[in-house]
Amino acid sequence: MAFLTLSSYVLQAYTDSISAYKYVVSIYNKDQAYYIAQSAFELAKSILDRDDPSVDTLNDLWALPFEFNKDNVKVKITIYDENRFINLNNTKDSGYRKIYENLFRNLSINQSFLNRLYVWTGAQEGSIPINYPIKKRPLDSLYELKLLGFSDEDLYGKMLGNQFYPGLLSISTVFTDGKINVNTAPVPVLKALNPKIDDNLASKIVDYRKKNPFKSPNDLVLVQGFTFDMLYSISPYIDVKSSVFHIKVEVSVGDTNLQVDYIYNRNQKTVIYKEII
């Protein structure tokens, strides 16, 4: 009996020591992963800072994913420009309101939710059927849209019949000055710029810029079907360069995984947002 009792104590002590060891290793790996993520961010930032800021395209070095694997360490860096998206904070601009109307219509989102966005950001007076006080200031995060009653389908995407409609979270931002880079903007964003830009014309723009990135917004008229009238209507809201970039760093050290997201303003050379996941 004494032997069994002693064995039980030894086994428990061994188990506790193994658990403590795993805990210490986990903490060490997490710290190591964070420092690696910081170094990876500095690398990404240096690539952006050395890049030509006058024109940004999907052919640039920063737009290519980078992966590094050695021993038990894996690092992946993904960079995309926030200027490819539509900023939902320009609600007081009449021209941008037309873009929002096109966007919500194209995504099959009820226009009443657009009015909620205007009221929430203080662009117009009114009430919202929610249990929160109205902010009356610009969005700090896209996830505030959940407070306004937007459904998960509207935010993350939905299937209607045989057609998929992207969600707002995948094509909008709160971090830019509102300029949209036509060299990097996806099809749903291009279509929102003007109701005359349909799927066919948006695809032509994407195909054209793959071989001939736009050096100036005026180059859009070189795309067959794009008119000067369209250019005139959207010129205040487009550009061929980007200033704000999303740098996502994913690190694995052993069994420990860490993701750090940085929003980096290249013009100001500052991190304006950081999140550790």
Q: Can you tell me the distance from the alpha carbon of 81 to that of 264, in angstroms, rounded to the nearest whole number?
A: 9
Here the CATH number for the domain that contains residue 79 is 3.30.1300.30
Asked if pLDDT for residue 202 goes beyond 90, the answer is yes
User: Residue 163: is its pLDDT beyond 60?
Assistant: yes
Residue 174 lies in a domain: no
pLDDT value of position 264: 98
221 within a domain of the structure (yes/no): no
Is residue 224 domain-resident?
A: no
Domain residues for the domain of 9 are 2-84+243-276
Averaged pLDDT, 135-157: 96
Average pLDDT over residues 214-222: 97
Are the CB atoms for 102 and 191 separated by under 8 Å?
A: yes
pLDDT confidence tier of residue 70, bands split at 50, 70 and 90: confident
Domain assignment of residue 45, yes or no = yes
96 is a domain residue: no
Nearest Cα residue to 247 out of 27, 62, 118: 62
- For residue 6, being part of any structural domain is answered with yes
At residue 2, the pLDDT reads: 53
Say whether pLDDT at 137 is over 90.
yes
Q: What is the C-alpha separation between 56 and 180, in angstroms, rounded?
A: 11
**Total structural domains within the chain:** 1
The beta-strand segments (E) located in the chain are 66-70, 73-81, 86-87, 157-160, 163-166, 172-173, 180-181, 238-239, 244-253, 256-265, 270-276
Q: Which residues pair with 164 in a beta bridge?
A: 159
73 occurs within a structural domain: yes
Contact 225, 207 (CB under 8 A): no
Identify whether 146 is part of a domain.
no
